[in-house]
Amino acid sequence: MAESDKVFSGSIPKFYDTLMVPLIFEAYASDMAELAAASSPGSVLETAAGSGVVTRALAPKLGANARYVVTDLNQPMIDYAASRQGPDSRIEWRQADALQLPFEDASFDVVCCQFGAMFFPDRVAGYTEARRVLRPGGRFVFNVWDRIEDNAFADDVTNAVAAVFPHDPPRFLARTPHGYHDVARIREELSRAGFADIQIETREKTSRAPSARDVATAYCQGTPLRNEIEARDASLLQLATDRAAEAIASRHGKEGPVTGKIQAHVIVAAG
């Protein structure tokens, strides 16, 4: 994973939350909130919280006396997520690295992480940390995207942007968000981290957007793909977005709303 894959700063958090979240994250956030709240946990840690879509879905499902610690590696994302959440004395916002959690052993009943494990430079270390801070009987709930070919819009955008930079195509989406989809590998790495009870379910959903242009803007300007495009030639960001919009329109509808398949693996692991 390139270092730029982890950079969510500048205008990215706002584009990410206003465009990417409703496009692909909200439906899975509802699933995550249901799974995390199912055991009526007294304490929850969320890692890689991003712009707070899971936080907004999960907080209403937790008890009045629950402790909910929300973390992300990127301070701009934490700041943005906190700004979107109403006052809630149960929630503590902290910048934290999921591979080096600043919490005592056995501190939480549930650790949850939506689409963050793909960004861990050492996933076994990240999983080991999640297990360390879980109490006996606690659960680690997380999800990862399936391969890019099973996620229509991401695949379309990647191919369209590659045509703009044929000699050095930006591969962020294929490399990182959709680069960790091997279920056998996920099981093996969780086992190495000490988890014994591992349940994995592949869930297909439908991604919807008001227009092809919204989809293209979301991916090209609301994710670190923007960093890759601008590193090659910042003046071509709009052209890359235009080409992505044209590709999506040609495949999913030239006018009005567009829909496309999205697919992810949902994992619940216990020690």
CATH code of the domain covering residue 101: 3.40.50.150
Give me the residue label for tokens 């991003």. Answer: 50
Does 163 have pLDDT greater than 50? yes
For residue 67, the SS3 value is strand
Neighbouring residues of 55: CB distance < 8 A, sequence distance ≥ 6 = 46, 49, 68, 70, 81, 85, 91
The per-residue pLDDT of the chain, averaged, comes to 93
**Sign (positive or negative) of CA dihedral 152, 153, 157, 160:** positive
Which domain, by its residues, includes 103? 3-270
pLDDT band, residue 183 (cuts 50/70/90): very high
pTM here is: 0.91
pLDDT digits (tens, 9 = 90+) for 92-135: 999 999 999 999 999 999 999 999 999 999 999 999 999 999 99
pLDDT digits (tens, 9 = 90+) for 44-84: 999 999 989 999 999 999 999 999 999 999 898 899 899 98
pLDDT recorded at residue 8: 47
Percent of the chain at pLDDT > 70 equals: 95
DSSP one-letter code for 23:
I
Total domains in the chain come to: 1
Strand (E) positions, 107-171? 108-114, 134-145
